[in-house]
Structure 1
Amino acid sequence: MKKTDLDKQQALKLMGKLNAAIPPSRYAGAAPAVDRREQRRLDQAAGLVSFPVKLHQPLIAALQAKAQADGVSVSELVNTLLADALKD
């Protein structure tokens, strides 16, 4: 392997490590991060299932505003609203 190829490989390794690093706590809302596997395990234990849905931007903004005003997460708010709507 040529020296330039070796340098490129080392640079790629370094960039991969930098991209995988946890962001500094100076960013707003930074909390101790739970890795994806652990978060998935916690969600499954709570009975949560991922269900992606495409919504229009004004509706998303309204949901985020209501969730923030109520002091709950958007997921909890959507869960409550859907459960109430399906009671009929």
Structure 2
Amino acid sequence: MIRGEDGGPIGRLHVDLQPAVRTSDNHPMYVLHLTARGQVGEGVDFFDIGREWIVASFERLTTDAMHQIWRIKKDGKHSDR
């Protein structure tokens, strides 16, 4: 449940994990989908809130090894290097 500043519900975070196979080498893997959905009328502000929830949840749901692969810094930012 995503809550607004007043503590009331304004949306939900949906998490979907599916097994998959990488086609280049038939390596088994998982695909993680995180989707933030907000109530109608929340406007564009919900995009920022939803993104914050997705980033924070990805960090909590994945390992440090995955963070290195995705080049995530300790501050939650993505590094292109």
TM range (shorter): under 0.3
Higher helix share: 1
Of structures 1 and 2, the larger Rg is shown by 1
Normalised to the residue count of structure 1, the TM-score between the two structures is 0.24
Ranked by relative contact order (alpha carbons within 8 Å, sequence separation 6 or more), the top structure is 2
Normalised to the residue count of structure 2, the TM-score between the two structures is 0.26
